[in-house]
């Protein structure tokens, strides 16, 4: 065991002794010894081997013995026994802000609380407030701390990160001392789920920028603040880092902190092969690690860094070491899809099923947004919980859509609603028969309920849906809900092959909880010639904004405008909707 591992155990012993109510001198001896070890300049093993531990101030006989035991055997029965004598949940209780060993001991001794869930329940029952030394305020604070920890310790949807980051980025842009700024990390790479948000800024006065940043309204607490970096918790419990660098360093820091780690490793290797060193501070003409400005290869932008390593610029979304280097060494990248290329969404809901808005309201609002078309694909009758339509209601909806479109035409508007359905894939058939499907302009087929635990069975059902000549596309292929529900089992590659065979499109569901089919599979689908449809699956008009997120995810899947059906203008879309039916 090295000194850091030993120090950690001594610190823990100190805490455990405090929880046991040992006298403060004894507990402090352990904590102090841990600090001393951490600042040692020579290896602990040497001190032990030469029997010199006793010469260090503050390490008495008992401690010498324990440290020696840890260094030589890697074990300490005294520590194991101490740990076993207390409920393991107590250590976790200590991680809640404002709850120290004294409080944990009181809670354990007086109320028998052994874990964070125990503590939460006691707070809710109002039992903490009446304990000596606690009170209402402390109780509320503990409860808040528990909830806080639960949220920010976890991972977050991309959309939550963007929502939290946008106002702060706006604020940074406005600050007079900020030269350049942006987001980095997984958010910039458009990962579907993120750990934390990374901001980067360049400035001549980092401390001004940091002071300003931590005092923004979106910042609910400051976890750490130094000369060039701050870590904070944003509204919604998302952790964020801001790093402030010089403007010369900015492009290098941006590339480094955008990652991914895997991408960075390849970049660094390429630099080394060229006799250079790449790190967060720069690209240096050097054979070893350095940050000497005199050796820096000047790059004003990320583009210039890639060029210096003989690479085409790699869009941030592709920096996952998923084949981007081969492309960047060769021909470079085609122009990836931009969200403004999208002209509408082909899977959406209205008040006919479980949507929030009426057909009229949808038509008015979506047209104002500048879309060319919007398919209304309400649920089919088996989706009872989503108020699925029976054939009669669906025909009623088709007729109302015709009326609305007629009115639009009379007013000289080009925008159109498209009639459709999101038809349930049932065990051995689709929820509507082919006659009815043939009356609809857009048919999305989705597996909603009753999927099997058997991958082969699910795959078979979905492929059968793809084989139906009236099904244009498959909706949310795996049914996953990010951070909530695992995907059901399905052989996605086999489904893609079947879609290639039958001329069926696959949805990229742009709902930020879904992003399904996953970006990792799109390069394969593309190689098979399977087209993508980026759909909002809107249940409210505001969900039209998902198109932007969906485009980010499609970029991550290497897709271009030509790969995506809903970039087509209405007349061409109508033709495309006939392809499969006329085969
Ligand atoms: P996240 O926050 O878990 O969603 O993922 P990232 O990618 O945002 O990771 P984060 O926030 O830990 O760090 C931001 C970037 O900094 C990361 O994408 C690459 C770079 N980075 C961080 N640690 C390392 C490292 O140990 N080695 C290398 N090469 N790069 C690193
Ligand atoms: Ca991050
Ligand atoms: Ca980070
Ligand atoms: Zn739907």
pLDDT of residue 97: 77
State the pLDDT confidence band at 57, using cuts at 50, 70 and 90. confident
- Token output for 344: 């509408």
**For residues 187 and 158, is the Cβ–Cβ distance under 8 A?**
yes
What spacing in Å lies between the alpha carbon of 447 and ligand 1's midpoint?
Answer: 36
Per-residue pLDDT at 152 exceeds 70: no
- Token output for 178: 């900020």
Mean pLDDT of 46-67: 90
State the pLDDT confidence band at 430, using cuts at 50, 70 and 90. very high
What spacing in Å lies between the alpha carbon of 400 and ligand 4's midpoint?
Answer: 20
Mean pLDDT of 562-573: 98
pLDDT of residue 223: 86
192 Cβ inside 6 Å of ligand 1 = no
For the chain, percent of residues with pLDDT exceeding 90: 83
Mean pLDDT of 276-297: 95
Phi first, then psi: what are they for 388, rounded to 5°?
-55, 145
Mean pLDDT of 53-69: 90
pLDDT of residue 3: 85
Q: Of the ranges 152-156, 244-248, 310-314, 550-554, which one carries the lowest mean pLDDT score? A: 152-156
Mean pLDDT of 110-138: 93
Q: How far apart are CA 58 and CA 181, in angstroms?
A: 48
Mean pLDDT of 515-528: 98
| Residue whose CA lies nearest to ligand 1 atom number 30 | 261
Q: Is 477 exposed, middle or buried (0-12, 13-18, 19+ CB in 10 A)?
A: buried
Per-residue pLDDT at 5 exceeds 80: yes
Q: How far apart are CA 424 and CA 431, in angstroms?
A: 5
Ligand 1 atom, smallest distance to 185 CA = 8
Residue from 152, 154, 161, 185 whose mutation best tests the ligand 1 pocket (most atoms within 8 A of CB): 185
Q: How far, in Å, are 143, 285, 355, 495 from residue 541 at the CA level?
A: 36, 54, 9, 31
Q: How far apart are CA 569 and CA 576, in angstroms?
A: 10
pLDDT of residue 151: 67
Q: How far apart are CA 422 and CA 431, in angstroms?
A: 10
What are the strands of the beta sheet with 532-535, ordered from one edge? 344-345, 373-379, 416-424, 442-446, 473-474, 505-509, 532-535
**pTM of this prediction?**
0.78
324 Cβ inside 6 Å of ligand 1 = no
Map tokens 């008495």 to a residue.
60
């Amino acid at each position: 065991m090295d000194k850091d591992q030993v120090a950690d155990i001594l610190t823990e012993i100190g805490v455990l002794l405090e929880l046991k109510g040992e006298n403060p001198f004894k507990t402090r001896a352990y904590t102090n010894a841990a600090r001393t070890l951490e600042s040692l300049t020579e290896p602990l093993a040497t001190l032990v081997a030469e029997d010199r531990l006793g010469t260090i101030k503050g390490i008495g006989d008992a401690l010498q013995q324990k440290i020696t035991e840890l260094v030589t055997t890697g074990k300490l029965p005294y520590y194991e026994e101490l740990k076993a004598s207390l409920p393991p949940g107590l250590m976790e209780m200590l991680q809640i802000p404002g709850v120290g060993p004294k409080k944990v001991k009181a809670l354990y001794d007086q109320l028998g609380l052994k874990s964070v869930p125990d503590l939460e329940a006691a707070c809710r029952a109002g039992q903490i407030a009446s304990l000596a030394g606690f009170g209402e305020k402390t109780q509320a604070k503990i409860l808040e701390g528990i909830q806080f920890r639960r949220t920010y310790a976890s991972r977050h949807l991309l959309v939550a990160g963007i929502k939290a980051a946008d106002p702060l980025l706006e604020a940074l842009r406005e600050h007079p001392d900020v030269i350049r700024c942006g987001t980095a990390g997984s958010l910039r790479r458009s990962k579907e789920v993120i750990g934390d948000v990374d901001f980067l800024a360049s400035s001549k006065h980092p401390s001004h920028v940091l002071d300003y940043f931590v005092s923004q309204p979106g910042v609910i607490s400051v976890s750490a603040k130094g000369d060039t970096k701050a870590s904070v918790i944003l509204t919604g419990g998302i952790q964020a880092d801001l790093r402030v660098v010089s403007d010369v360093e900015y492009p290098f820091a941006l590339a480094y902190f955008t990652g991914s780690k895997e991408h960075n490793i390849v970049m660094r290797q390429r630099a080394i092969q060229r006799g250079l060193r790449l790190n967060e501070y720069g690209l240096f003409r050097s054979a070893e690690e350095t940050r000497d400005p005199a050796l820096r290869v000047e790059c004003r932008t990320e583009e210039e860094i890639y060029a210096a390593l003989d690479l085409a610029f790699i869009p941030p979304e592709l920096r996952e070491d998923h084949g981007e280097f081969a492309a960047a060494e060769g021909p470079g990248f085609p122009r990836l899809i931009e969200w403004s290329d999208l002209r509408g969404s082909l899977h959406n809901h209205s008040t006919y099923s479980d949507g929030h808005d009426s057909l009229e309201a949808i038509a008015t609002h979506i047209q104002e947004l500048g879309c060319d078309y919007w398919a209304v694909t309400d649920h089919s009758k088996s989706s009872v919980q989503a108020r699925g339509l029976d054939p009669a209601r669906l025909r009623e909806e088709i007729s109302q859509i015709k009326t609305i479109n007629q009115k639009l035409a009379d007013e000289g508007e080009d925008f159109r609603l498209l009639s459709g359905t999101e038809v349930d894939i049932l065990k051995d058939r689709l929820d509507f028969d082919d006659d009815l499907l043939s009356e609809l302009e857009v048919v999305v087929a989705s597996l909603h309920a009753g999927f099997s635990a058997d991958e082969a069975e699910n795959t078979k059902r979905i492929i059968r849906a793809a084989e139906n000549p009236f099904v244009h596309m498959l909706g949310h292929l795996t049914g996953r809900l990010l951070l909530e529900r695992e995907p059901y089992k399905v052989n996605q590659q086999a489904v893609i092959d079947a879609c290639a065979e039958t001329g069926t499109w696959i949805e990229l569901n742009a709902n930020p909880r879904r992003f399904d089919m996953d970006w990792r599979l799109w390069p394969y689908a593309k190689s098979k010639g399977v087209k993508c449809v980026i759909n909002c699956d809107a249940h409210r008009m505001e969900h039209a904004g998902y198109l932007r997120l969906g485009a980010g995810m499609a970029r991550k899947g290497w897709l271009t405008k030509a790969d995506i059906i809903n970039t087509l203008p209405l007349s061409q879309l109508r033709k495309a909707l006939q392809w499969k039916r006329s085969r």
